[in-house]
């Protein structure tokens, strides 16, 4: 587990909220709690790494809160694990359809919650982000300022590679070797064409892909 991972627990049952918070803190997490979706949405969520969200609460439901989170570019990428006493399939499908990362039915063991948190965080760690550009190798998706953009597989591989190794200069030959199979013949010019398309698609962040004359391309953070 990454130390100082900040978990927000949103649950209107005080005993469950307190017990789970205590256990997670003993496991090394930083934990905040809220007794309602309304309280949670009024908090500063910029430091939150993952939300444990009860579905059935007084006032706004967890499903409604998740909808709000996923529609807001500032919070859309925060992973959400739903906690609920209701075990019916409809709740689970609704939660997953709006972007929930996992679903745990009550009653649950604290150890199981920790295991599920770590599983989600491992997936998130495969997501590479810089400025407003996010490349997720698990889902092979790219988002710019929270909005998904369409990249070809080669465009995605080039962009993800550059972001993952920001400030490293890749020659055209290196990019060809890393992105194209050995048995495919591709000319260096193909890299320039792909880079031009990527720059256009990720505007206004296209300028982060910098050309080093005589060497190749690199990604520079702001």
The 10s digit of each residue's pLDDT in 47-105 is 898 999 998 898 999 999 998 998 887 787 788 999 887 655 566 667 677 777 888 88
* Residue pair 2/26 in contact by the 8 Å Cβ criterion: no
Cα–Cα distance, 142 to 134 (Å, whole number): 5
What CATH code would you report for 6-125? 3.40.50.2300
* H helix runs in 76-217, sequence order: 89-97, 110-124, 153-164, 172-179, 189-201
Q: Where are the domains of the chain?
A: 6-125, 128-219
The fold for domain 128-219 equals Arc Repressor Mutant, subunit A (1.10.10)
**Residues linked to residue 212 through DSSP beta bridges, in sequence order:** 216
Q: In this predicted model, what pLDDT tens digit does every residue of 157-185 receive, in sequence order?
A: 999 889 888 778 999 988 988 888 665 55
Residues 6+ apart with CB under 8 A from 209: 162, 195, 198, 199, 217, 218, 219
Q: In this predicted model, what pLDDT tens digit does every residue of 194-209 receive, in sequence order?
A: 999 999 999 999 999 9
Which has the closest alpha carbon to 49: 101, 112, 111, 93?
A: 101
Whether residue 2 is predicted with pLDDT greater than 50 in this model: the reply is: no
Query: For residue 56, what are its two tokens?
Result: 């059935």
Mean pLDDT value across residues 120-131: 71
């Amino acid at each position: 587990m990454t130390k100082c991972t900040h978990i927000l627990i949103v649950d209107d049952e005080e005993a469950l909220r307190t017990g789970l918070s205590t256990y997670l803190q003993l496991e090394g997490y930083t934990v905040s709690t809220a007794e309602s979706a309304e309280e949670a949405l009024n908090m500063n969520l910029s430091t939150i790494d993952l939300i444990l969200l009860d579905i059935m609460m007084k006032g706004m439901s967890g499903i409604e809160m998740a909808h709000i989170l996923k529609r807001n570019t500032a919070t859309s990428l925060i992973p959400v694990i739903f906690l609920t006493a209701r075990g019916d399939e409809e709740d689970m499908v609704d939660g997953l359809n709006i972007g929930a990362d996992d679903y745990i039915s009550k009653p649950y063991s604290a150890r199981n919650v920790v295991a599920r948190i770590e599983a989600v965080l491992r997936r998130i760690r495969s997501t590479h982000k810089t400025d407003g550009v996010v490349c997720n190798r698990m889902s092979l998706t790219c988002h710019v300022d929270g909005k998904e953009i369409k990249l070809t597989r080669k465009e995605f591989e080039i962009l993800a590679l550059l972001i993952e190794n920001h400030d490293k200069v890749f020659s055209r030959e290196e990019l060809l070797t890393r992105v194209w199979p050995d048995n495919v013949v591709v000319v260096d010019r193909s890299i320039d064409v792909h880079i031009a398309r990527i720059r256009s698609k990720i505007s206004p962040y296209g300028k982060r892909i910098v050309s080093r004359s005589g060497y190749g391309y690199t990604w520079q953070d702001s």
